[in-house]
Amino acid sequence: MAEPARALSPHRLSLRQQNALRLALIFVLFELVSALAVVFLLMLPMAERASADLAGLMVLSAQTRSELPPGTRPAFEKELLRAHGLELRTTPPVDAKPQDRHGLYLRALEHRLRARTGQEIKILGAKQANALWLWAGLPSGGQTLWLGFPQSRVGPHPLAALLLTLSVGLLLAALAAWWLGGVILTPIKRFDSAAATLGRGETPTLLPEQGPRELAGLAHRFNRLSTQIRELLEARTTLLAGLSHDLRTPLARMRLALEMLQRRPDPAWIERLDQDIGEMDQLIGNVLMLARGLSQEPSEPVELSALLEELAAATRATGADVRVRCPSIEMQTAVEALRRVLSNLLNNAQRYAGARPIELQAQRSAEHCRIGVLDLGPGIPTAELEAVFRPFHRVEHSRSPNTGGTGLGLAIVKQLAQAHGWQVWLENRPDAGLAAWVELPIQILAQQ
């Protein structure tokens, strides 16, 4: 028993949401890798060098101040602030507090100061003139000297920069995913609508074959599938309508023959019944062959000129004048399918050519082998050269099998050719008559 179709969960993420999550994840990973590379390959070495220079300057300034005469120390402190942005005090700053968050630069500075002084040095922060200053107490000359510098000297905090770039990146990733999702979803929604229309048995509007190569190719294949389904539905409708119409005529004749047999038995009426039954049997057989679909037959070797002579001889037996013009060609192909195609084309030519000669010829080029059935009949109007391959389409509109055939011969030819990858077409000859051509790919041929 078939499993019932499951409804889509309303909690399932849409394609746009999934793309947004994927892009966000990829961007976060990329940002983290980039941040690690910048921190360890750029910022850390720069912080080490800059902190080493600043630590050396601070220690040297403290030592110099301790060694200077007391009278010159104020001038030294003023010059130190002006030239290097360092303020030197003998007392600790008011409300100085340890820094809770240390960046790479401050950590490196504490490490360098500890290496130069041999003591644990902690960086403290205190407000001064509406700005945060960072202070370090350095031992010098038996006392502790405090050297400070504004936080702006350190520059931006790497973690804050990383968080900012991550936030902006996530926002851009979400917007990009939303935009890309719309670009991708628009043709997919068209596909969905067209597929739903096709599923209801209706003919959808052909999709625009534009956009990316993959979507354009998918639209092209869907359009081709939609066209094929529409043609199959039209052929099925035409097949049923034509069959029901064409069976009425022999059935009416059979009913009349049965009534006449009841009144006046006559062998002629029995013969008429037998002909009508044969006509119906041929029509039903052709319809079944067309409705079943014509599968591809296996290939076998055949000598083309011998095959054409055989078909010509069978047609000559019915009184037709058939002439063969074909070189000796050994070929590997579906012989029975080719025989049926050429027989139908010969019967069609014989019906309209009358007593005029029919030519059966073969030509070979570098890529194809072309077989033609050429007659001197009235030809076909140019507008109907393609339409005659549709089931039950007749150029002669009498609907009589004796004058116009069943209208299925060329339809069977077309299906057989399509099943085996052949090309078949009709064209009016320049002087008079019709040429029916069947073209086979050269790769299946071998000439001795």
Give the residue from 189, 49, 170 showing the smallest Cα distance to 111. Answer: 49
The dihedral region occupied by 383, where left means phi > 0, alpha psi between -120 and 50, and beta the remainder, is alpha
Q: Is the pLDDT of residue 448 over 50?
A: no
Domain of residue 312: give its range.
295-444
What confidence category does residue 400 fall into, taking pLDDT thresholds of 50, 70 and 90? very low
Spacing of C-alpha 274 from chain mean position: 57
User: What residue type is 64 in one-letter code?
Assistant: T
Does a structural domain hold residue 179? no
Please give the helix or strand (H or E) that residue 142 lies within, else none: none
- Give the mean model confidence (pLDDT) for residues 320-335: 86
Query: Residue 339 burial by CB count (10 A; 0-12/13-18/19+): exposed, middle or buried?
Result: middle
Give the residue from 376, 379, 360, 371 showing the smallest Cα distance to 315. Answer: 360
Percent of the chain with pLDDT over 70: 80
Spacing of C-alpha 411 from chain mean position: 33
Query: CA 197 → CA 7, 86, 205, 220, 413, distances in Å?
Result: 19, 79, 9, 17, 32
**CATH, residue 56:** 3.30.450.300
Q: Which residue has the higher pLDDT, 46 or 349?
A: 349
- Give the mean model confidence (pLDDT) for residues 363-373: 85
Task: Count up the domains in the chain and report the number.
Answer: 3
The C-alpha atoms of residue 172 and residue 182 are separated, in whole angstroms, by: 15
To the question of pTM greater than 0.75 for the whole model, the response is no
With H, G, I as helix, E, B as strand and everything else as coil, classify residue 125. Answer: strand
Residues 54, 35 share a domain: yes
pLDDT of residue 4: 47
What confidence category does residue 438 fall into, taking pLDDT thresholds of 50, 70 and 90? very high
**CATH, residue 256:** 1.10.287
pLDDT of residue 371: 92
Final residue before a domain boundary, out of 261, 292, 323: 292
Final residue before a domain boundary, out of 96, 129, 161: 161
Does a structural domain hold residue 322? yes
Does a structural domain hold residue 168? no
Beta strands in 217-357 (DSSP E): 300-303, 322-325, 330-333
What is the distance in angstroms between the CA of the first residue and the CA of the last residue of the chain?
58
Q: Is the pLDDT of residue 101 over 80?
A: no
User: Residue 255's CB: how many other CB atoms inside 10 A?
Assistant: 11
pLDDT of residue 75: 92
pLDDT of residue 218: 83
The C-alpha atoms of residue 61 and residue 84 are separated, in whole angstroms, by: 10
pLDDT of residue 407: 65
Q: Is the pLDDT of residue 401 over 50?
A: no
- Greatest mean pLDDT range, 16-30, 104-118, 179-193, 293-307: 104-118
Q: Which residue has the higher pLDDT, 192 or 361?
A: 361
Q: Is the pLDDT of residue 74 over 50?
A: yes
What confidence category does residue 444 fall into, taking pLDDT thresholds of 50, 70 and 90? very low
